[in-house]
Structure 1
Amino acid sequence: MAAAVWTSLQGCAVFQQPSPPEAVEKVSHDLRVFPLPGGLNDTWMLHSNSPERVEQSGILVSSLPPSKLEDKRKLGVALQGEFGLFLHHVARTPPLSSSRLYLAVVASNPSESEALLQLKQGAFFRTWPEAPFYALSGIQNNDSGQIFAGAGDRLSLAWLRGENTLPPRELKLPPNTHRLLFLEAVPTNPLWVLQQDNALSGLFKFQSETPVHLSTLAWVSQTGEPPSEKALLQMLESGLAAGPEEAPATAYLSDQPPPRGVFRYGRVAGLGKGSEWQGQLNPLPVEVGERVGFPIASLYLKRLGTKQNQSAPLHKRVSDTAVESHGNYGLKYSLRAQLYNPDDRPRRYAIYLHNPLEVRLQPDLPYQAEAIFQISRSAAVRFRGSVLLNWKVDSADKGEESLMHQILHEGEEAGALKIFELPAQSSSEFKIELVYPPDSTPPQLLELQRLS
């Protein structure tokens, strides 16, 4: 018999009898599973995600060279050509407090000549007010671009659609100067009787022909008023680190077995390579009923039946933060598939995005596997995002496009994102695009099936 639990409600003791545990049913299907073809591009990305919850002012991450021992969040790597920035942080303020978190991005030119920094694309959203968490489920058409749940979901949707919340612009940086590029409040409700959080997610694409540096800063204003540019630059110079510090991430080598003990991925604060993954899906399902799967955002310890870890490598990172850019938050996946139907009758295909509990390889049968799922009413959400599908039959005058929004729970075997028909004696190019949403938990399984 389950033990009863005593809790407190408004100072009064309440006796609660726990609900019986949910009966979870396991289901599975067979497939062939392969590493995702292609790979990451060479674009530098500065990742600012540690600490995720910010309560103390300071530097989050900076590519500037450290000037003293205390500058532990400065990486010392100049940025040139095309490069990007991803940031995701959560404001946490005490109840009945007027304090407010501000997030800032600063560009620096430490050279003796002028630098021209171009913002090619920029978007950011906060959970409140722009992107609250709506109770969504399943798969919905999102051609309107109005379906999202949370800041990460909406940011990925905007980036996928090529939308900006920050207009493209050019910024001249005189020699040996710093300039404030971005400053936004992350407000919380001061009248909320419990501690309340609010998140901001942002993606930026830059271009500079000369070396420059980027820094992300957090400023906790006790009065709620925004900081001056001078105050932010003084804090950047001081080397003060934002807080609180998170528990250290586990150190590991990506091609070696995991170390003993508790494993902690940690949050990412570092400079890595990779803003987009491009690949041609192959092999594809041939026989009726056949399923072929590929991992999306596979991790060091979660490779879904393959040996592939898609985490972007980090060239430099803040000490004790994540070893790799696991999860690939903000990374764009651009995948193509070339289908051919030599038959005298049409073929039908389906495309899915699943969230299996695991993918088990069959002994002595290369690539043959079993994907394990669960049927549960209370499983946590693991993916909130939109997938853009494009396809064109060679005999058609123009192609078709569909933007689909999907919610995936832990262990969920999902319905088809799209079912499409390939006419007899024809071929079709199919394109799948998604920007991996910051609010998601990797990995997922992309699957194609021939239905008939």
Structure 2
Amino acid sequence: MLPFLSSLLVAQATSSLTFRELPPQFIAEPQQVRTLPGKLNDVLVFNSNSPEVVQTEGVLLSTFPPNGKQVPSAHLNKPMEGRFDIFTHHISRPNQPRTLYQGILVHNPTSQTVIVRVLQGASYLTSPDAPFVQLPPVVEDPSGRIFSGPGSRLMGDILRGFNDPQLARRITIPPGQSRMLFSLPISPSNARSTFMRVYSDGPVYVANLAMYEVPDQLSEDTEVITYRSPHLNEWRYLMTKGNLIFPRDLAPTPPNAIRPEEKTIYGRVAGISVGSEWEATVSDGPGKPYLSIPERGKAFSYPLSTVTTGTHGTQQVQSAPMLVRYPDTAYQAHGNYGVHYSLTLPLSNKTNERQTVAVALQTPFKQDQYADRLIFTHRPQGQIFFRGTVRVAYKEQDGTTQARYFHLVQRQGQQGEPLMRFNLAPGESREVEVDFIYPPDATPPQVLTVRTLELFYGDSR
């Protein structure tokens, strides 16, 4: 079933029917949905995902000034400095067999040398680096060998602190000059996902460009054409003379034109978004350093990566705002690709009985009306809505911290299996950390659910 059609059916059913009257394919779980504490930080993200499919050469995203450029509208005129992230995800589907190169050009407009340091980064192709493979809904992955697709592998490796050796650790840019942060191939019908955390000690302009491999000079005694990757001057020429890459993606629905009963086009992102991390301690409220577990048999949830029409009744939109963007691209960084969610849950058993508490990530049907229920389906089918790695860390009784990594695959309407299960004695507390980097090739929102089980289990896992 198509995602929009499924959501439409859910909206129609829940708008007029009670829990017991839902069509049999749906499950209505009566659990409280709470606003997620915290907020996005103010770290800028060079965010390039539109157009996703690249069929020509040109400019994907440029923060260069428009003066002196052949196509001024291709440049957003916003320097970046200090800590910022770079996220790009693009697919090459050219009308010719040549390899497409993606290049990040960085320019120093100042009279002083600027050093750009890559604090962490990785870049993967779908083939051969991270092909899409079928995986179970939950696989524990202590060594980082479980992934499906470049977005899944990329964010899992970044979460673990991995640094890709094919990326430079630092580049030095003399006054008024440009350097390539990277120039990497995307073979035909392939995709590349890249994420970098960088620090620049001075203002720089950044451009994400696409160019086909360049023919070498033919010698007089051969008719064989060989190709090479583009040189710096060729990248600079493309940045100065190039246009935005066409065809473009679908333009987004303006915020003032969004209607719940109509399909909303969010659009893909091309610009600078604001916010690289959502860090929060999830507690009972301000001044309360604990999170009381639910009553036995009950649960509560916190939405993750919410969008305008999918807040689960909380009215909290977590999508990162755009500082600058192209007019035909997303108004917000919907999906928060590359945003690190770092959540601490100081679980506390305030009851007089031993309880077993489970923590899970779930993908209910998107809705914006109810904060007292989540809608699932008995047999999730169709498009995968989440494919990525989640880290769960907790303290043992002896004070040592254990960290476990799980790779999840969830479809729309999937309840999700518990990631961890804890036994808590009366009055006992346990701090649990849940963090993940929202992966490309995922569709928001998800929820983080805490449930106290009906039965007490004799062991924890």
| Structure 1 and Structure 2 fold alike (TM over 0.5) | yes
Q: What's 1:36 paired with?
A: 36
Q: Which runs of 5+ in 1 are unaligned?
A: 1-22, 189-196
Query: Conserved in 2, the CA contact under 8 Å of 1:252 and 1:259?
Result: no
Q: Report 1:300-315 matches (<5 A).
A: 300-315=308-323
Answering whether residue 238 of structure 2 is matched by residue 230 of structure 1, we say no
- Is 1:59 the equivalent of 2:79? no
Partner of 1:409: 411
In structure 2, the residue matched to 1:381 is: 384
Aligned to 1:184: 184
User: What letter matches 1:402 in structure 2?
Assistant: R
- Please give the alpha-carbon distance, in whole angstroms, between the structure 2 residues aligned to 1:138 and 1:147: 12
Q: 2:245 aligns with which of 242, 245, 251?
A: 242
Q: 1:159 corresponds to which residue? A: 158
Change in CA separation of 1:78 and 1:381 when aligned onto 2, cut-off 3 Å: same
From 369, 374, 387, the equivalent of 1:371 is 374
The answer for the alignment partner of 1:214 in structure 2 is 206
Summarize deviations over 1:140-185 as a string: whole Å, max 9, x none.
Answer: 1011211110000001101110101145622221111010110111
User: Matched residue of 2:93: which SS?
Assistant: strand
Structure 1 partner of 2:433 = 431
How far apart, in 2, do the equivalents of 1:120 and 1:50 lie? Answer: 25
Contact 2:319 2:336 in 1 (8 A): yes
Q: State which of 272, 281, 288 in structure 1 corresponds to 2:296.
A: 288
CA–CA distance in structure 2, aligned partners of residues 326 and 376 of structure 1: 27
Map Cα deviations across residues 285-341 of structure 1 (whole Å, 9 max, x no partner): 331122111111100111122101110000100121111000000110000111223
Secondary structure of residue in 2 paired with 1:72:
helix
Residue type of the alignment partner of 1:439: D
CA distance in 2, matches of 1:141, 1:391: 16
Find the residue that maps to 2:303 and give its secondary structure: strand
* Residue number in structure 2 paired with 1:76: 77
Distance 2:84 2:230 in 1: 27
| Higher helix fraction (1 or 2) | 2
Unaligned runs of 5+ in 2: 1-22, 216-226, 285-290, 457-461
Q: Which residue number in structure 1 is paired with residue 107 of structure 2?
A: 108
Code of the residue aligned with 1:154 in structure 2: it is R
Determine the structure 2 residue equivalent to 1:357: 365
Identity of matched residues, %: 32
* Alpha-carbon separation, structure 2, partners of 1:199 and 1:349: 40
CA shift digits 1:317-368 (9 cap, x unpaired): 0121111000000110000111223556532111111111145756xxxx5x
Q: Specify the SS of the correspondent of 2:273.
A: strand
Is 1:346–2:354 an aligned residue pair?
yes
Q: For the Cα contact (< 8 Å) 2:294–2:450, is it kept in 1?
A: no
Q: TM-score, normalised by structure 1?
A: 0.86
- Give the conservation status (yes or no) of the 8 Å contact 1:103–1:216: yes
CA distance in 2, matches of 1:146, 1:25: 35
Alpha carbons of 1:61 and 1:379: their partners in 2 closer, same or farther (altered >3 Å)? same
1: CA distance, partners of 2:386 / 2:125: 18
> Of residues 332, 335, 348 in structure 1, which corresponds to 2:343?
335
Measured after TM superposition, the shift of residue 419 of structure 1 is: 1.2
RMSD: 2.2
Per-residue CA deviations over 1:53-100 (Å, capped at 9, x if unaligned) read 001101111111111572223111111110111000001134xx4311
Whether contact under 8 Å (2:380, 2:412) holds in the other structure is no
Indicate if the aligned counterparts of 2:346 and 2:430 stay in contact, CA closer than 8 A.
Answer: yes
Q: Which amino acid aligns with 2:128?
A: P
Q: For residues 258 and 113 of structure 1, what CA distance do their matches in structure 2 show?
A: 51
User: What letter is aligned with 2:449?
Assistant: E
Contact kept? 2:152, 2:388, Cα under 8 Å: yes
Give the partner amino acid of 1:111. Answer: T
Structure 2 residue identity aligned to 1:209: D
1:135 aligned partner, one-letter code: Q
Query: Which amino acid is the alignment partner of residue 196 of structure 2?
Result: F
